[in-house]
Amino acid sequence: MSIAPVNPADFARERIRHELLARELRVLRRERLTSTIARITLAGDALAGFAAPGPEDHVKLIFPAPPGERIARDFTPARVREGELDLDFVLHGDAGPASRFAATAQPGDPLVVAGPRGSRLAPAGVRKAVLLADESSLAALARWIEALRWRAEILAFVQSDSPDVLDYPLPTGDRVAITRIGTGPEHALAAVASPGIDSHTYVWAAGEASALVPARRHLRREAGLDKHRAKVDGYWRIGVAGLDHHAPLDPDDPED
């Protein structure tokens, strides 16, 4: 059964455009947050004026590469402070440029950060949010919780096989519940299908693309949530290097 929102304006998300700049920064420090996640803090005068107020904002990291090559990946800023930028990396060996950089980064190493090009703020009128992330999207999950925790009930689910994944510094609150669940499509589907999604609920999910397809189909077809009330984003896909997360998650069921 389709659920009609009480007020469509509750789910409107303000857009902000930014001047697109490429900033050359340097590694300030590296710390391990969990057994699989490292935080790299970057610093530099070029951070002056940097802004990323949206929960899903992303920058493009341009990694050092041989002449004639360009290696870039999209990342959500974890935290922004005056003169410092935190970025979180999932460590999975040295096969990928991001994981390899995070595993070997030393203070003083350079990294170019481009963007963000724009921001979409969290919807202002939401009273309940169901949020789903895996290790690759924990920074965005933290930003969603921070944006909503004082005005909405939050049910957050983290897909991970790492028992210490919830050591990651997620914001807390009296109305915030965070649960670790298994990986794979069946667990993602159960997470978005089990809570009581009512007319005030907003749903956000991000992680491995193929695991999220059944969850997105459920939200659109069974729950009746359109793109203004449910955002499902594939941050990576098994077997695909450098996935474009702007590409349709489910080409057989495109956005309206």
Q: Is the pLDDT of residue 94 over 90?
A: no
Residues, the chain, total? 256
**Which SS3 state, helix, strand or coil, does residue 92 take?**
coil
Query: Residue 254's pLDDT is what?
Result: 63
Kindly calculate the radius of gyration of the chain based on its CA atoms and give it in whole angstroms: 18
Identify the CATH assignment for 122-236 out of 3.40.50.80, 1.20.1560.10, 1.10.510.10, 3.90.79.10. 3.40.50.80
Q: pLDDT for 226-241, tens place per residue? A: 888 999 999 998 877 7
Q: Is the pLDDT of residue 5 over 50?
A: no
Regarding the domain delimited by 22-118, which CATH topology (the fold level of the hierarchy) does it fall under?
Elongation Factor Tu (Ef-tu); domain 3 (2.40.30)
Per-residue tokens: 8: 């469509």
Cα distance between residue 55 and residue 77, in whole Å: 9
Query: Residue 238's pLDDT is what?
Result: 80
Query: Residue 1's pLDDT is what?
Result: 43
The answer to whether 117 and 51 have CB atoms below 8 angstroms apart is no
The answer to whether 138 and 90 have CB atoms below 8 angstroms apart is no
Any idea where the domains of the chain sit in the sequence?
22-118, 122-236
Chain-centroid distance of CA 228 in Å reads 17
Query: Residue 247's pLDDT is what?
Result: 66
User: In sequence order, what are the beta bridge partners of 72?
Assistant: 62
